[in-house]
Amino acid sequence: MEGMPEEKCSLAAVAAELAQIHDMAKQLVEQVADPQQGGGDGDAAAGGGYQRVRELTSTICANVDKALHMLTSNSLDGSPAAGQPESTPSSGGHGSSRGAVLDSDQAGGGTGNAPGQGKDRKTLSKWSTQVRVSNAQDATYLDDGFIWRKYGQKDILGAKHPRGYYRCTHRHMQGCLATKQIQRTDGDPLLLDVVYIGSHTCTQPWGAAAHPNIQSMLPTTEQTTTSGSESGSVLTSEIPGSMASRKRDTGGETRLSKTMIEEPHSTPYKDVMAWFSMGKLRQKGRLSHTCMQQAGQELLGRDDIRQQVMEKILLDRNGVNNCTVICIYGWSGLGKTSLLHALYNDQQLLDAFDKRIWIQISDKIDISMLFRKIVEFAMNEHCSITNIDFLRELVVEEITDKKFLLFLDDADIVNQQFWTTLLEVLNTGAKGSVVVMATRSSTVAAVRNVATHSYSLNPLSEENNLMLLQQYAVVGTDIQSNPDLALIANRFISRFRYNLLHLKAIGGLLCHTDTFSVEKDKFEGSVMPLWICHDVLPVHLKRCLALCSLFPEGYIFGKHHMVLLWISHGCVRPVEGYELEDVGVEYFNELLCRSFFQCSPVHSDKNEMFVMHELMYKVVESVSPDKYFKSEDPVISIPENVFHCSLITSQFQTVELMHRMKQLKHLQTFMVVQPEWKPNNISLPTLNLVGLDDFFLKFTSLETLDLSHTETEELPASIAGLRNLRYLSVNSTNVRALPCELCSLSNLQTLEAKHCRFLTELPRDIKMLVKLRHLDLTKELGYVDLPHGIGELIELQTLPVFHVSGDSSCCSISELGSLHNLRGCLWLSGLESVKTGSKAKEANLKDKHCLNDLTLQWHDDGIDIEDEGEDSKDVADEQVLEGLKPHVNLQVLTIRGYEGRRFPAWMQGSSPSLPNLVTLTLDNCCNCTEFPTIVQLPSLKSLSVRKMYDVQQLSSHTDTHGNGSTAKFPSLELLNLWEMYGLEELFSKESEGDCPRLRKVCISRCPDLRRLPSARSLTELVLHCGKQLPDISELASLVSLKIEGFHGTKSFGLPAAAALRKLEIRSCKELASVDGLSAVLTTVQRLKIAGCPKLVLPGRNQ
C-alpha cells in the first residue's frame, strides 16, 4: 500500500488498529441514528452530520486497509499482543498424519491457541448480547452461525431460570476454546442473555460476520465488551478461503492440489451457504428417517454414451484385433466410475466374454502390482508372487485363448512403457478382447498406441441434473411445484453441473435437513461444496468418518465391519429401544445417502461392500484430527500425540513395534490394514510384528486392536492388561490358540478369528466375556470347537459358525437356546452328533427372529456313511430336522447331508411355514424319495438341488395352494439341478401359469429328464451331461443357450427365438444336425461349437 511503512508489525499493533476501527464503527452507528449530533440547527446540523459520517467512513476504511496490510505483509511479527499468551504451534506430524492445518496467513499460524485464546479464561475475549426467541424451544437450537454442544447447566442464585453452558463442537477435534452461556431473563423468558467467551479458531463452515442470524447478536452501543487483553475483542470469526490451501504436516504438500486444478469452476462458498439456512439438523441417533439408497439408482443422462461404448465393445469383440482399448475421460466426479460400473454389470456384455475383470488403479501402482491384481481377480484367490516374470506368465495363462473384458478405473498413468508392457501381455488373449479404462486426463488417452477409441464425458443436461438432485434431496417431492425448491435447485445445478458428486452430496445434505430457505445475502470466500457437506455433519458422524481415514484410499470395506469399529470407538450413541448395531447401521446409511460412501462396483450384486470416492476421501483425510494417523512407510516415526494408528502394508516386512511407537502416550487404536480387498478376504500374512508383549504392557488403554494378516502365532499373556479392549481381530493369522488371559477382558465386545487355519479351540473360560456381542470363527476347512458356557454369553448377536462336537468337553446344541439375540447367518454343523429331536428343539431356532440365513449340515461331503443302524439313523435325522424349525422371518435356508427319507412337517403342507424364504438349497439329501411341498412359497426366488437320487419330480398333482390356485413357484427366478439321476419331470401336471418369473435354469447330470418348464420368461438355459436332450423347441424367449455332454443326441431343434444372442454346443459326439441353426446364425452374437465331429454347419461341406 502506498505510503505504508514496511517496518516489522506486531499483533498488538494489528489489534490496536482493529480496536480503533471498532470505536469508529460505534460512533458511526450513533451518528446515523442521531444526525443532530453534528451540532447546530437545520441545514447546518444536517451538513455537519453528513460531514462527520464522511470523516468516520474514511477513517474506518483507512484503518481497515492498514490492518489488512499488516496481516498480509511478509513483515508481520509473530509476537503476541499485550496480555495475550504465545501461540503454541501444533506438533508436527509425519507421513500420513491427519492434521487439517491451515496456512499461517490463513489460520494465524498453526493449530495452537490463537491470540486471546489461551486456556486461562482471564485472557479470553468476552462479550454479551440479548436475543429474543419466538418460543421456549429456540434456546436449545439458537442459531448464531456456529455449531455448539451443550455440556452443562446449573441454577443461579437469585435467578428464576438456569444457565446453560455450551462449547464449540470442534473443541476436541480442532482445539477451539470458544464457549457461550445462555440464560433466560427473569422478566421475559423469551429474552435470552447470551455471553460469548473466546473467539472461534476452528474451521467452521461460516463465520459470525457472514451468517444471517449473527447480525442480530452484534453488540450495540448499549452493550458492553470486555476482554482480558488490552486490544479488546474481535467479534468476527475467520471465514476460510479456498480449502485447497490446506497443507499436510510435512513437506507442504497440498492435499487437494490435483483435485482443485482439475475443477472447471470454483464454487463460491457464499452462493452455497446463502441459498439455504441449515436450521437444526435431524436429532442425532434418531432412527425414524429413511433416506434414498443410491446403490440401485439408474445411470441418469448417460444412456447415449453407454450405448456407444457398448456397441463399440460388441463390434470390436468380433474384430480382428487381439485387444481393443476404449478410453473414457473426464473431470473427477462426472460419473466415470458409475459408467464403468453399469458396463461391468451389463448382462449382454457378461454373456459376450469369457472373463470379466475389474481393477482399481492407484497412483502408486506399477506393472507388477497390476499383473498381480489381474491374477487375483481372474483366479479369485490371493497371489503372493512378486516376481514380474512369474506374474506375467500367470496373466498370459489366465487370458490365453479367452476373450476377456478388462475394466481399469482411475487409469491416470501416462508412462508409455507401462502401457506398452501391459498391452504386450494383453494381446495374448483371444481376438476381440476389450479393455475399457476411465481416466481424469485426456493426456492418458493421447498416449501413443494406447487407446483405440476415446470418449469424453461431458456434464449432464439441466434436466438430468434436476432429476438427480430430486432423487437425492427431496424423494417423493416435485421440485418444480415448490418455487423455493426450484430456485435452490436451479442455482445448485448451475454451480455443480461439472461435478455430479458435488450435486449428490448437496442433495444428501438437503435430504437430512429439516428446513431450508433461500437467502439473498452474499459473503466472500470460496470452497468446494464437499467441505460444506462435511462441516455441517453432526459430531458423531464426523467421528465415524475420522476413523475411516485410517484406511487407504480406495479401500473396500463391509458395512458390518465398519459399524463394529465405530461401536468399539464409542462413536455410536445408544438410543432407547434399539441395539447399538442398528443405530450404527443407521449412521452408515445416512453417510451413504450423503454420498460419503458408495457401493463397490464389483460387489453390487450383494450390496454389502462399499468404498469412499476419492474426492470424499481427500476431504475426510484432510479434516481428520492429528490424533488419527495411518502409516504406509515402515521407516517414518509416529508423532507422540497420536491416539489412533494403522499400519498399511502390501508386502511382507518385519516391524519392531516398540521402536516405532515407544514415544506414544495415549494409543487407543492399533490396526494392521491391507491396502486392497482380497478375494474371499483371505490372504497370506504380510507383516511380522516383533515385541507384542512389551506393546501390550505399555499401551493398556487400547480399545481397538486388529492384528489381522500378520504372522502372529500366539498372543502374550500380557493381553490381560488391556482392560478397556472392546474389539480384537486376529483374522488370517497363524494363531494356534487364544490365551486363557483373554477371558479377563470384561469389556470385550467383538472377537474375530476368521480364517485362522491352525486354531481349533477356544479357552475354557470364554464364558467370562459377558459383554461379548460378536464372535466370528469362520474357517475354510475344519471347525473351532466351542467350550461349555457359550450359552452364558447372552449378549451374543453374531455367531456365524456353531459346530456340535461329539466330545463331551465341548458345548451341546442346547446352549444355543439361551442365545436369543443371534442375528444374520448361522451355520449349524455336526448335526450327526445330535441324537434326538427333543435335544434339537432346545436350540430354540423358532424364536430367533433376527436370523435370516441358516445352514443345517450333518456330514461333510465325501464322508462315507456306514450302513449299520441305517433305519434308526433315518428316523433320528428326521426328528432332529423337525426340531430345528426356524423362525418365519428366515430368508435363506441350506440343508446338507440330511439322511432322512422325508422332510419335516414345517416344509410340507399347503400353508407355507416359511413365507419370507428367498433362497433354498438342498444338498446331498440322498435318502429322500419325495421333494418337499415348497411350490407355493410366495417369496422363493432361487432353488438349488443336488444329489437327491430317488426324486422323480419336484411337485406332484397334490401340490396345490389352499385357495385352489395351481400356479407353482410364483416368484422363482433361478433353478439349479445337479445329479438328480431319477428326475423325470419337474411337475406331474404343468399349467400355463407355472414359474411366471423363471429366467435362468441350469441342469447337470439329470439323464432321465424329459421335459423342461415352458416358462415364457426363461432367457438363459444350461444343459450339461445327459442321455437325450429334452425338448427345447418351445422356449421362444431364450437369449443364451449352452448344451454340453449329450453324447447320445443325434439331432434336436432350436427354438424360434429371435432374441437368441449366445449359443454354445460342446461335446455332443453323435450330434449330426440342428434344426433352425441356419436362422439362428443370422442373429446370434456369440457362437461356439466344439467337440461335435459329426455336425455340419450350414453352408459348409462335410
- pLDDT digit string (tens) for 195-210? 989 888 765 433 333 3
Q: Would residue 298 count as lying in a domain?
A: no
Are 493 and 513 found together in one domain? yes
- Are the C-beta atoms of residues 421 and 367 closer than 8 Å to each other? yes
pLDDT of residue 165: 86
Q: Would residue 985 count as lying in a domain?
A: no
Residue 907 has pLDDT above 50, yes or no: yes
Residue 284 has pLDDT above 80, yes or no: no
Query: Which one is predicted more confidently, 581 or 242?
Result: 581
Residue 402 has pLDDT above 50, yes or no: yes
Residue 935's nearest CA partner among 951, 950, 920 is 920
* 819: phi then psi, degrees, rounded to nearest 5: -90, 75
Are 115 and 239 found together in one domain? yes
- Are the C-beta atoms of residues 383 and 335 closer than 8 Å to each other? no
Residue 137 has pLDDT above 90, yes or no: no
- Domain that residue 444 falls in: 303-456
**HEC-encoded secondary structure of 34-50:** CHHHHCCCHHHHHHHHH
Here the cell at position 79 is 509476537
pLDDT of residue 857: 96
Q: Would residue 191 count as lying in a domain?
A: yes
Q: Would residue 972 count as lying in a domain?
A: no
Q: Which residue has the cell 445462555?
A: 182
Are 574 and 438 found together in one domain? no
pLDDT band at 916 (very low <50, low <70, confident <90, very high): very high
pLDDT of residue 209: 33
- pLDDT digit string (tens) for 544-580? 999 999 999 889 999 999 999 999 999 999 999 899 9
pLDDT of residue 100: 33
Tell me the mean pLDDT in the region 708-724: 94
Here the cell at position 348 is 449382454
* 201: phi then psi, degrees, rounded to nearest 5: -110, 0
Q: Which of 861, 879, 900 is the last residue of a domain?
A: 900
Least confidently predicted of 297-311, 339-353, 611-625: 297-311
Tell me the mean pLDDT in the region 306-333: 82
pLDDT of residue 535: 84
Are 451 and 464 found together in one domain? no
- pLDDT digit string (tens) for 455-503? 988 888 877 877 777 777 655 556 666 676 677 677 777 776 667 787 7
Q: Which of 623, 650, 667 is the last residue of a domain?
A: 623
SS3 309: helix
pLDDT of residue 92: 35
Are 649 and 762 found together in one domain? yes
Tell me which amino acid residue 549 is. Answer: S
Q: Is 109 left (phi over 0), alpha (psi -120 to 50) or beta?
A: left
- Annotate 267-299 with b (16+ C-beta within 10 A) or e (fewer): bbbbbbbbbbbbeebbeebeeeeebbebeeeee
Residue 912's nearest CA partner among 944, 938, 879 is 938
Are 742 and 652 found together in one domain? yes
Q: Would residue 980 count as lying in a domain?
A: no
Are 643 and 596 found together in one domain? no
Are 552 and 655 found together in one domain? no
pLDDT of residue 106: 32
- Are the C-beta atoms of residues 321 and 453 closer than 8 Å to each other? no
Least confidently predicted of 87-91, 414-418, 682-686: 87-91
Residue 1071's nearest CA partner among 1101, 1051, 1087, 1041 is 1051
SS3 898: coil
Q: Would residue 471 count as lying in a domain?
A: yes
Q: Which of 229, 245, 261 is the last residue of a domain?
A: 245
For residue 564, give every residue at least 6 positions away whose Cβ sits within 8 Å of its Cβ, in sequence order, or none.
581, 584, 727, 749, 750, 774
**Count of domains in the chain?**
7
Cα separation, 359 vs 575, in Å, equals 40
- pLDDT digit string (tens) for 613-662? 888 998 999 888 889 999 887 667 788 889 999 998 777 788 888 888 88
For residue 476, give every residue at least 6 positions away whose Cβ sits within 8 Å of its Cβ, in sequence order, or none.
none
Here the cell at position 172 is 476436541
pLDDT band at 1044 (very low <50, low <70, confident <90, very high): very high
Are 713 and 676 found together in one domain? yes
Distance of CA 694 to the CA centre of its chain: 35
Cα separation, 445 vs 408, in Å, equals 13
Q: Which residue has the cell 430368508?
A: 891
Query: Which one is predicted more confidently, 219 or 798?
Result: 798
Burial class of residue 780 (count of CB atoms within 10 Å of its CB; 0-12, 13-18, 19+): exposed
- Annotate 786-809 with b (16+ C-beta within 10 A) or e (fewer): bbebbbbbeebbbbbbbbbbeeee
Are 395 and 335 found together in one domain? yes
**HEC-encoded secondary structure of 839-878:** HHHCCCHHHCCCEEEEEEECCCCCCCCCCCCHHHHHHHHH
Cα separation, 1066 vs 1047, in Å, equals 10
Q: Kindly list the distances between the CA atom of residue 435 and the CA atoms of 376, 401, 450, 468, 602, in Å, as whole numbers in the listed order.
A: 17, 16, 10, 29, 16
Q: Would residue 408 count as lying in a domain?
A: yes
In 637-678, alpha helices (H): 657-661
Sheet with 126-132: strands ordered across = 148-154, 163-168, 179-184, 191-197, 126-132, 225-226
pLDDT band at 959 (very low <50, low <70, confident <90, very high): low
Residue 317 has pLDDT above 70, yes or no: no
Tell me the mean pLDDT in the region 963-974: 78
Cα separation, 1042 vs 1020, in Å, equals 8
pLDDT of residue 977: 96
Cα separation, 22 vs 1015, in Å, equals 83
Tell me the mean pLDDT in the region 707-714: 92
- Are the C-beta atoms of residues 423 and 327 closer than 8 Å to each other? no
According to DSSP, the β-strands at 191-197 and 126-132 are: antiparallel
Distance of CA 92 to the CA centre of its chain: 31
The DSSP output letter for 981 is T
How does DSSP assign 584-606, residue by residue? HHHHHHHHHHTTSSEE-GGGTTT
Kindly state the percentage of the chain with pLDDT values over 90. 36
Q: What is the CATH number of the domain that holds 575?
A: 1.10.10
**Model confidence, pTM:** 0.71
Q: Would residue 529 count as lying in a domain?
A: no
Are 391 and 311 found together in one domain? yes
pLDDT of residue 200: 80
Residue 997 has pLDDT above 90, yes or no: yes
SS3 643: coil
Cα separation, 397 vs 964, in Å, equals 57
The mean of the pLDDT values for the chain is 76
Residue 769's nearest CA partner among 797, 743, 730, 789 is 743
pLDDT of residue 328: 92
Please give the helix or strand (H or E) that residue 546 lies within, else none. Answer: helix 539-548
Are 338 and 435 found together in one domain? yes
pLDDT of residue 528: 66
pLDDT of residue 815: 94
Q: Kindly list the distances between the CA atom of residue 135 and the CA atoms of 127, 131, 184, 186, in Å, as whole numbers in the listed order.
A: 24, 12, 12, 15
